[in-house]
């Protein structure tokens, strides 16, 4: 497994990480443990969860902590705070909220430190400096090693960097946003700001909830156990233009001996500003496929052609 720097931190993470959103929702403890075991066997050491990831089966953080057990120090754990249902939690960036949530996350994860603690959504009701000062205190206390953000714009990332510099506070080392071959708007805004600051990008939804695995075909019913089926036939992930691109990628992949999944994961993992590709999984077999895809190293010409084909 290829390893990459986590932004400008000293941490080295696998080029593909495990997105743990389905733990507690679609995956029980037995399934979660099987996924974690498969990840470690594949050389994956990066696991991304959040305090809001939970479902009828349980809490993602707790299931992940249980699955890791005494192997916790062999991995890099990222978790998040400050999200509500599909957006920012009211006052989710406030000091009181952060101090409360970090203790819950530590307890559920069964650890005394978090490697990467991320602000899940910008909080318009809380000054950014308050959020950063609270996170700095956690770093000084040893409860958090590094901090990151998620769903920030380039301007919000730059504002946070300016405040951290002016007040001698810890800087965000990563920015986690929706990014894939079919969702590339951050290239115009967030990526340039991140590159100026040495911040690593952590793409989530890199496979567009399965559309970029190549297993779905236009006009054919989606498997009932698939996420696209559960989300109302694909929701915003599916359109005729997107199917056009997937079909073009499939044709090109056939020419060079790689699947659509290989192209989607390999393209992201090869980008120098991407630290790790966060891919959600529900089965050990998906872990193995993602790991193999991210380990493929496309040539410059192949990267350019993949990028061209995926232009919306």
Active site residues: 53
What distance in Å separates the CA atoms of residue 160 and residue 158, rounded to the nearest whole number?
5
What distance in Å separates the CA atoms of residue 134 and residue 15, rounded to the nearest whole number?
30
Strands lying side by side in the sheet with 277-280: 200-204, 172-178, 144-150, 114-119, 76-81, 46-48, 16-19, 277-280
What distance in Å separates the CA atoms of residue 58 and residue 45, rounded to the nearest whole number?
23
DSSP character for 23? B
Among all chains, which residue has been given the structure tokens 């190549």? 214
For 176-192, give one letter per residue: b (16+ CB within 10 A) or e. bbbbbbbbeebeebbbe
In whole angstroms, how large is the CA radius of gyration of the chain?
A: 19
CA angle (265, 183, 178) in 5-degree steps: 80
170 token code pair: 């810890």
Checking phi first, is residue 238 left (phi over 0); if not, alpha (psi -120 to 50) or beta?
beta
Q: Are 95 and 130 in contact (CB under 8 A)?
A: yes
How far, in whole angstroms, is CA 246 from its chain's centroid?
A: 22
Task: Name residues whose C-beta falls within 8 Å of residue 227's C-beta, 6 or more positions apart in sequence.
Answer: 22, 26, 209, 210, 282
Q: Is 303 helix (H, G, I), strand (E, B) or coil?
A: helix
């Amino acid at each position: 497994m290829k390893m990459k720097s986590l932004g400008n931190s000293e941490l080295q993470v696998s080029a593909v990480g495990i997105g743990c959103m389905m733990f507690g929702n679609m995956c029980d403890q037995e399934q979660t443990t099987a996924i974690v075991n498969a990840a470690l066997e594949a050389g994956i050491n990066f696991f991304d969860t959040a305090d809001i990831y939970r479902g009828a089966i349980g809490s993602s953080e707790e299931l992940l902590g249980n699955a890791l057990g005494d192997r916790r120090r062999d991995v890099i754990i990222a978790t998040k705070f400050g999200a509500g249902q599909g957006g920012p939690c009211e006052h989710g960036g406030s000091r009181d909220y952060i101090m409360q949530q970090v203790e819950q996350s530590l307890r559920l994860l069964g650890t005394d430190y978090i490697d990467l603690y991320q602000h899940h959504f910008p909080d318009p009701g809380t000054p950014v400096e308050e959020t950063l000062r609270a996170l700095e205190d956690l770093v000084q206390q040893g409860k958090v090693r590094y901090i990151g953000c998620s769903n920030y714009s380039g301007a919000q990332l730059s504002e946070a960097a300016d405040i951290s510099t002016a007040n001698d506070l810890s800087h965000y080392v990563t920015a986690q946003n929706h990014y894939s071959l079919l969702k590339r708007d951050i290239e115009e805004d967030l990526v340039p700001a991140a590159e100026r600051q040495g911040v690593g990008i952590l793409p989530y939804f890199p496979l567009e909830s399965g559309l970029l695995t190549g297993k779905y075909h236009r006009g054919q019913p989606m498997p009932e156990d698939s996420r696209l089926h559960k989300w109302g036939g694909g929701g915003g992930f599916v359109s005729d233009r997107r199917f056009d691109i997937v079909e073009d990628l499939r044709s090109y992949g056939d020419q060079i001996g790689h699947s659509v999944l290989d192209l989607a994961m390999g393209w992201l993992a090869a980008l120098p500003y991407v630290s790790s590709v966060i891919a959600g999984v529900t089965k050990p077999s998906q872990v193995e496929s993602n790991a193999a895809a991210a380990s493929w190293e496309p040539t410059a010409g192949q990267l350019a052609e993949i990028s061209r084909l995926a232009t919306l």
